[in-house]
């Protein structure tokens, strides 16, 4: 079991962020579709929770919904997002913008190339978080920015702070993004595929950095990725999403050791390994259904090797199996023999 590594002990872990029943709808010309449905999870203080899924699974929508940064046609129709005891969905937009975003939750994006403003210096972009909300002097803000840049492993930060994003390498830019997300010491940091655009050596460095920050500052991280290797590397707990729903939830150790949901099993089976048997890498047949064409019953049934008639007809509930929560009929304790 991955335990919290803080000195105070491992038993009293508190949830800093709890999402429950979160549903997001997008209205398009062809109608209204729910991108995610009934998404719920808790992020514990000082831990990393990974959301894994293929494109279209709803993992990015989930993170953007927490930040309330959904596109104009997206709307949260149900659910709660409770940050440190406060339901963000009850707060007026002004409060969210002024007190929450950048202050208590920050976000790092996938493309450090495009996520930084090309015409503002690194220093301007880091300090504006402080200058905007905390009313501290410009000089103090810059000193703090230099400190954070050093913290995220940028050499000679006094020089870098005056540079523009295009003068930095991809890895450096992502470090700048992380510094920007860290500067006001938020309670939660959401990282949306922060290493996908980087090459593997840089990816490893950034993951190490995030892990170190979590341990040193007790920052809780919500890590969105499609890469299971990254999950194994960095996360304490994991949520597997498929077609807008959470299909499995548990600690990384449990889920990787004993994946319960057929989709999770498929994903893990499709992971290349150095010690594994030779031969073709197994894949999951088919593709994630589009938001407009989600199948009835269990959304995974048309790709599932264990599908039975009930799966097409009835949407599965979530069952507690060992340490995990699984959305699959196979784990229904009242399952009748005939339907197997």
Partner 1 sequence: MTRYVIKRLVQSIPVIFGITVLSFAIMKLAPGDPLANFVNPTISMEDLEASRSALGLNDPWYVQYTRWLSEVVRGNLGYTYAGNHSIRMLIGQRLPNTIILTLSAFILSFAVGVPIGVMGAVRKNTRTDYGLTIFSLVGVSVPSFFFGLLMIYLFSILLGIFPPGGMVNIRARYVGFARIMDIAHHLVLPAIVLSLSNIATVSRFTRSNMVDVLKEDYIRTARAKGLRNKAIVYKHAFRNALIPVITIFGLSIPFLFSGAYITESIFNWPGMGSLGIQAIQDREYGIVMALNLITATLVLMGNLTADILYAVADPRIRH
Which residues of this protein are in contact with partner 1, per CB under 8 A?
Answer: 67, 69, 96-103, 106-107, 109, 111, 114-120, 128-129, 132-133, 164, 166-167, 177, 180
Q: Shortest distance, CB of residue 163 to partner 1, whole angstroms? A: 9
Helical ranges in the chain per DSSP H: 59-67, 93-95, 112-115, 122-133, 138-151, 157-160, 170-182, 200-217, 228-234, 252-257, 262-269, 309-313
Instruction: Locate 118 and state its tokens.
Output: 């090309």
Closest by CA position to 333, among listed 321, 325, 323, 312: 321
Q: Shortest distance, CB of residue 101 to partner 1, whole angstroms? A: 3
Q: Shortest distance, CB of residue 33 to partner 1, whole angstroms? A: 21
Nearer to partner 1, 220 or 245 (CB): 220
Q: Shortest distance, CB of residue 66 to partner 1, whole angstroms? A: 11
Q: Which residues sit opposite 19 in a β-bridge?
A: 41, 81
Number of other residues whose CB lies within 10 A of the CB of residue 215: 13
Q: Shortest distance, CB of residue 25 to partner 1, whole angstroms? A: 20
In degrees, to the nearest 5, what angle opens at C-alpha 174 toward C-alphas 230 and 184?
Answer: 105
Q: Provide the Cα torsion 126, 128, 129, 132; round to 10°.
A: 170
Contact 74, 61 (CB under 8 A): yes
Nearer to partner 1, 129 or 213 (CB): 129
Nearer to partner 1, 100 or 243 (CB): 100
Closest by CA position to 196, among listed 65, 291, 54, 36: 54
Nearer to partner 1, 27 or 117 (CB): 117
Q: Shortest distance, CB of residue 151 to partner 1, whole angstroms? A: 18
Q: Shortest distance, CB of residue 125 to partner 1, whole angstroms? A: 8
Nearer to partner 1, 35 or 318 (CB): 35
Nearer to partner 1, 90 or 167 (CB): 167
Nearer to partner 1, 28 or 312 (CB): 28
Tally the C-alpha atoms within 13 A of residue 241's C-alpha that lie toward its C-beta: 30
């Amino acid at each position: 079991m991955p335990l919290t590594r803080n000195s105070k002990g491992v038993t009293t872990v508190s949830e800093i962020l709890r999402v429950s029943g979160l549903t997001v709808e997008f209205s398009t010309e062809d109608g209204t579709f729910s991108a995610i449905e009934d998404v719920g999870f808790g992020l514990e203080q000082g831990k990393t929770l990974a959301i894994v899924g293929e494109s279209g699974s709803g993992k990015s929508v989930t993170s953007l919904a927490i930040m309330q940064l959904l596109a104009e046609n997206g709307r949260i129709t149900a659910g709660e997002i409770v940050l440190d005891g406060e339901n963000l969905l009850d707060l007026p937009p002004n409060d969210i913008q002024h007190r929450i975003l950048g202050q208590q939750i920050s976000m790092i994006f996938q493309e450090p190339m495009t996520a930084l403003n090309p015409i503002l210096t690194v220093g301007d972009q880091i300090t504006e978080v402080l200058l905007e909300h905390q009313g501290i002097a410009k000089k103090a803000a810059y000193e703090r920015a230099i400190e954070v840049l050093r913290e995220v492993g940028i050499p000679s930060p006094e020089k870098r702070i005056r540079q523009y994003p295009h003068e930095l390498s991809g890895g450096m830019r992502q470090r700048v993004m992380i510094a920007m997300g860290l500067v006001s010491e938020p309670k939660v940091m959401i990282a949306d595929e922060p290493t996908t655009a980087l090459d593997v050596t840089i990816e490893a460095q950034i993951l190490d950095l995030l892990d170190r920050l979590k341990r040193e500052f007790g920052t809780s991280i919500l890590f969105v990725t499609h890469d299971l290797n990254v999950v194994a590397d960095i996360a304490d707990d994991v949520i597997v999403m498929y077609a807008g729903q959470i299909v499995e939830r548990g600690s990384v150790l449990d889920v990787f050791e004993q994946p319960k949901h057929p989709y999770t099993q498929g994903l893990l089976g499709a992971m290349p390994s150095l010690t594994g048997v030779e031969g073709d890498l197994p894949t999951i047949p088919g593709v994630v259904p589009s938001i407009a064409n989600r199948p009835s019953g269990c959304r995974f049934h048309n790709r599932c090797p264990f599908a039975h008639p009930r799966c097409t007809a009835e949407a599965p509930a979530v069952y507690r199996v060992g340490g995990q929560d699984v959305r699959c009929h196979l784990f229904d304790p009242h399952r009748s023999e005939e339907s197997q």
